[in-house]
Amino acid sequence: MRLLIVGSLEGHMITAGKIAFERGAKVATVDDVDQAMASLRAGNGADLLMVDINLDIDKLCKHLDMERFSVPVIACGIGTQPSKAGDAIRSGAKEYIPLPPDAELIAAVLAAVTEETTSLIYKDPAMAAVIRLAEQIAPSDASVLVTGESGTGKEVMSRYLHSKSKRAKNNFISINCAAIPENLLESELFGHEKGAFTGALSRRVGKFEEAHGGTLLLDEISEMHPRLQAKLLRAVQEREIDRVGGNKPIKVDIRLLATSNRNMEEEVKKGNFREDLYFRLNVVTIDMPSLRDRPLDIQLLADHFLAKYAESNGVAKPAITPEAVTQLMQHHWRGNVRELENTMHRAVLLSRDNIVGPEAILLSGTSFSPVATTAPPTQAQAYSAPQTPQQPPQGQQPAASDGASEKPLVGRTVADVEKDLILNTLQHCLGNRTHAANILGISIRTLRNKLKIYSDDGTEVTSPGRGGESFSPSL
């Protein structure tokens, strides 16, 4: 765990750093946001940022996002400061920690970050066999290709391999090859010199150098453009890279891991992926089983996610009924563990009387009937409403709405119901698009596209931290 402390807060941040150091974290400190960004650009890396709440956290989070640094931010301030804490959360901070620091609270934050990235929860024999293979090869420096469907936990497995390796105390660096445009990916991987291209205002160390001594994960490597694959092959073979705009090679000492949700041999046959690079990466293959192939893990994972999201939403962990468990066990889980996680997050929000029943389990490919329960449907339940209105059984009427803000479902289009759900969820999340997308179970890109459509139609869309202002695509 690499912790970067930004700011001082009358020395309390240093005390927090000492506590984190005693708990096994590597701790570095800088004075302000600019120094924090300079440290990250220089390749020092961080797994967590603890930031003085009096600094410009909004500026920091925007720079992290713009420069594609995926690092969680924890805001820290003296005592309880609800207004500033709210602003920090709306800007992108994950949590607020009051100071002077509590040793157990600091330990819990560090443990949560570590568990989030390395924990593997299982009891199914199919997954147990995969774990045995992973533990056998983890201590080596062999390149590993982790394959499997989307949502099966390929990155978590990669972090697990690093945590069990002899490089565990050094950096684990991950880069998503599908998320970065091809013309930017080269400088992200290999770094660039100042002035190498328009916008290169300072030297930037690439992921290969940042991972020196540790592990580099090339996530979704099958999405990499063939032109860049040739340059990557040299780096894999020689463990030597050239910065963009540089004039001398740089040696790197890394262990290389890669993931893909495609059939790599088929990609090679189609000419989409270089065969020589494939064999360089594929010293050992770990194929992650789909969730439907490890059924004994479904209830175990569901219970884990119930506890996780109950805690993050500040509520008691709800109990799950046998009927709800049956629903989970019978579902196909096209989105695997990621789909299950989103399902249980929604279930926590939709549970009644601290119980998760079938009505709170909203699964893809299923529809919600407004007469299925005696209580009025929530907006989230309305999201999965059937496309044609269902008539209630003879002698029954749809449940009445509890408030004027809730509209009856019958007679409304799916698009209209979906719009209400998305806008209400965004308002609930105080405009935080990432949180809203997680709750809705859709990608952030899909959410942004929907909001753009609503904004173009003249609908007010909640902006981060600013109530009901109109949506801006640049946010």
pLDDT for the residue numbered 273: 95
Is the pLDDT confidence value at 263 over 70? yes
Q: Look up residue 113 and give its DSSP letter.
A: H
Virtual CA dihedral for 227, 231, 234, 240, nearest 10 degrees? -170
pLDDT in tens, 359-383: 999 886 554 433 333 343 343 333 3
CA distance readout (Å), 325 to 153, 293, 300: 22, 17, 10
Question: Can you read off the two tokens belonging to residue 474?
Answer: 């640049």
From 342, 354, 411, 353, select the one nearest 380 (Cα to Cα): 342
pLDDT tens per residue across span 275-313: 999 999 999 999 999 999 999 999 999 999 999 888 878
Q: What is the pLDDT of residues 170-229, one digit of tens each?
A: 889 999 998 888 878 998 999 888 877 777 777 888 999 999 999 999 999 999 988 899
Burial class (CB in 10 A: 0-12, 13-18, 19+), 248: exposed
Residue range 293-456 forms a domain whose CATH class is mainly alpha
**pLDDT for 410:** 61
Instruction: Quote the DSSP letter at residue 244.
Output: B
User: CATH top-level class for 126-289?
Assistant: alpha beta
Separation between Cα atoms, residue 404 and residue 149, nearest integer Å: 44
Q: How confident is the model at residue 115 (pLDDT cuts 50, 70, 90)?
A: low
Tokens of 168: 């565990």
Amino acid identity of residue 24, one-letter, is G
Instruction: Say how far apart CA 4 and CA 211 lie, in whole Å.
Output: 17
On the question of pLDDT at 246 being above 60, the answer is: yes
Segments making up each domain of the chain, as ranges? 2-118, 126-289, 293-456
Task: Give the span between the Cα atoms of 446 and 135, in whole angstroms.
Answer: 38
Identity of the highest mean pLDDT range in 90-104, 328-342, 452-466? 328-342
More confident residue, 43 or 62: 62
Q: How far apart are CA 281 and CA 220, in angstroms?
A: 13
The reply to whether the predicted model has a pTM over 0.75 is no
pLDDT of residue 212: 94
For residue 289, say if its preceding peptide bond is cis, omega within 30 degrees of 0.
no
SS3 content of the chain, % helix, strand, coil (to 5): 45, 15, 45
pLDDT at residue number 190 = 93
Per CATH, the number for 2-118 is 3.40.50.2300
Confidence of residue 386 (pLDDT cuts 50, 70, 90): very low
Number of helices (H), then strands (E), in the chain? 19, 14
Dihedral of CA atoms 266, 270, 271, 274 in degrees, nearest 10, equals: 0
Torsion of CA 441, 447, 450, 456, to 10 degrees: 160
Two domains, one topology: 2-118 and 126-289: yes
Model confidence band, residue 268 (pLDDT cutoffs 50, 70, 90)? very high
Q: Average pLDDT, whole number, for the chain?
A: 82
Write the burial class of residue 61 (CB in 10 Å: 0-12 exposed, 13-18 middle, 19+ buried): buried
